[in-house]
Structure 1
């Protein structure tokens, strides 16, 4: 894979994930307690022996840049020609933000050409999955393809949010529709459509030619799915590569966590007895950056003190967290979370540094970093009250509290007296 370069698109606003993306890029949003969303694409690259990676950023990229610098650079050796470079918009070609996925790559074409790759793997930095890109590159070579697209079987309802492909018996793509209202199903399989995963393997010279052609094309939105792919499927060798899941489960696992409810459900999947996503697989390790916090701790047993018992059931509890006389059920507690005596937290995701006061009650909530929940507060029990407090409530009824919501002042005015 020495002649292969990976380009990860990590510059989207992630507006559907607000307020979690209020202060960070979507790929930098925490996931599963210890990880960030970007860690999955990066882990796939390392596990696939791709040692040259460009991470294209744009909006609110500071925490993403910091995470990559602290947690990922040591996996790559510059002296051996390996690197992971975070590339902000440079406006070398145009004095505006990236106009589409193809434009993001085009505006950095000088950086790509400088590396002289034979093949370029283009990835999104905001999906949760495990995949061996090396197998896809080899398939691309075997088919003598100009472009190979990762393909996922989805139901027709979900397919309306994807690029949908039609293929012949050799997996050559003969049709492509971006987010169709009535997607075409797979011949002989009316229950599924063949959707683009937003994973592309290009022969490098072909990619450069298409980017330059698209950049000057009138009316183009400069997007791979909307413009470049439909324009080449009838004239070039474009193939679909069926998704081969490295998750080693009976069902293929791929998640777009682009909405609050999708993000919440994907996290909650992890606390099942046999979770759909296997994070404990030594054959395909997931890597990240973690500070050197002490082990999690559970203190105070129930010894005649009412319901004071430090316990966590069916939960993930990260380093540095202390459950001190409180009760945690079906939750993900990030690093350095503290749950104090008589507090009750259920079906929730607490980011790093959240402090839950005594007698507080939380259910079906996502609480961002460093929030202090006052003693006696209740979150997720009265959604109308939570909305009046200024908190975000998702379509599925999950209460989301951002870092900057001023929760202490807001909640203290509505806390019931502790009896």
Structure 2
């Protein structure tokens, strides 16, 4: 079954500079998460779970790997109207430039959307981690006869200064909006929230950057080329002109905006009861189906660790870490609070024999790795010591970067034997 009322538009974001160096060679939606998925799998899976199976992903930076992932992953029946299409910024007779913002990206792509029938456009971000039932949001939108709906999440006073904050009345209709308010303004910006949220001091409604627009209104708004962003212009300018619903969501949600939030979101998956539940049958996360062997572990003490398929592990200890597909970790190594993305391929036995002196893919022997992100296809030599933490200054080199105390080994980098960070 396909929800033909709704067309989903997933915004891939800009250059992703705050997630650098993970976005050095790939777009933000293509960044690997949880050892086997990509960020774009989250909104796509949420859509599939709600029977929304017509999706466009808008991107303009390093889109090759994103294109490949979506092409290899999301196959629907030949007789179905379902699709996931990537739209990169393109030059047309009417436009010669890049996407200038979220609204401009939708405006430039409207001619693709309008080839399809739909009543509502569901506009999503490609860099957030959450599991939402969009069906319920669409139902609320219809029942309230709203022209625009905004997904909101209750936040506390400390976090409220970092978001666009909405004020809603007792019927959840938005009455006003303020972007990143100063702390002294907050007392005037509380909204009605559940008792549970009140108990946690979460009295302010933050925009999640998830919107529903009625088709006719979206077409009208996109005809005004002076607006380039939804959060900064379209929403503030239209909430009093057109009935706008605040749809409150109280589940887990995090914006993967920088290295610190990305790292914590992944390490959080190792908790006994993680806030983001990969094991919920009704809210499955879909990704590329790989025919990988089972993971083999020899003599390793494992504690609060998530391990993907196809790994060969002989480490002494792995604790509070996420180990991605096809990872290899050598004898006597210790890995703590680390996200190892894994590898795109295996080295053959012949290659391994030929490279006896050089570093193999993965982590070598007798290494100590803590507070680190190892991007895909890294080669960490023997006796390497990486000890991330607040004692380290932000740094950028050809093979690694340090941000907020987290050491990020770059995609395909080789770290020589005995190296210390």
TM-score range, shorter chain: 0.7 to 0.9
Instruction: Give, in angstroms, the shift of residue 113 of structure 1.
Output: 1.2
400, 403, 418: which one pairs with 2:408? 400
The 2-side partners of 1:402 and 1:138 are apart by 44
Query: Alignment partner for residue 226 of structure 1, among 217, 220, 232?
Result: 232
Q: Which runs of 5+ in 2 are unaligned?
A: 193-197, 344-360
Change (3 A) 1:376 1:58: same
The size of the alignment, in residue pairs, is 389
| Correspondence 1:332 to 2:340 | no
In the alignment, the residues of structure 2 paired with residue 350 and residue 254 of structure 1 have an alpha-carbon distance, to the nearest angstrom, of 23
Matches within 5 A, 1:8-407: 8-72=10-74, 74=75, 76-92=76-92, 93-182=94-183, 184=186, 185-187=189-191, 191-213=202-224, 215=225, 217=226, 220=227, 222-243=228-249, 252-299=251-298, 309-353=299-343, 355-380=362-387, 384=392, 387=395, 391-395=400-404, 397-404=405-412, 406-407=413-414
Structure 1 residues 386 and 329: CA distance shift in structure 2, 3 A: farther
| SS of corresponding position for 1:116 | coil
1:375 to partner: Cα distance = 0.5
The verdict on how the C-alpha distance between 1:363 and 1:79 changes in structure 2, with shifts beyond 3 A counting, is same
Shift of 1:11: 3.6
1:14-39 deviation line (CA, Å, top 9, x unaligned)? 11111111111111111111111111
User: How far 1:389 moved relative to its partner?
Assistant: 6.3
Aligned equivalents of 1:389, 1:211: Cα separation in 2: 42
CA displacement at 1:312 relative to structure 2: 2.5
How far 1:331 sits from its partner (Å)? 1.1
The answer to whether the 8 A contact 2:302-2:318 is kept is yes
Query: What TM-score, normalized to structure 1?
Result: 0.88
Deviation at 1:257, TM superposition (A): 1.6
User: What CA distance in whole angstroms lies between the structure 2 residues aligned with 1:357 and 1:282?
Assistant: 37
Residue by residue, what CA displacement relative to the aligned partner does 1:364-404 show, whole Å, maximum 9, x if unpaired?
Answer: 11011111111111111686599586632222x21111125
Deviates more, 1:89-98 or 1:103-112: 89-98
In structure 2, the residue corresponding to 1:85 is in which secondary structure?
A: strand
* Structure 1 counterpart of 2:347: none
Where structure 1 has 5 or more consecutive residues not aligned to the other structure, the ranges are 245-251, 300-308
TM-score by length of 2: 0.87
CA RMSD of superposed structures (Å): 2.1
Equivalents in 1 of 2:61, 2:33: separation in Å? 19
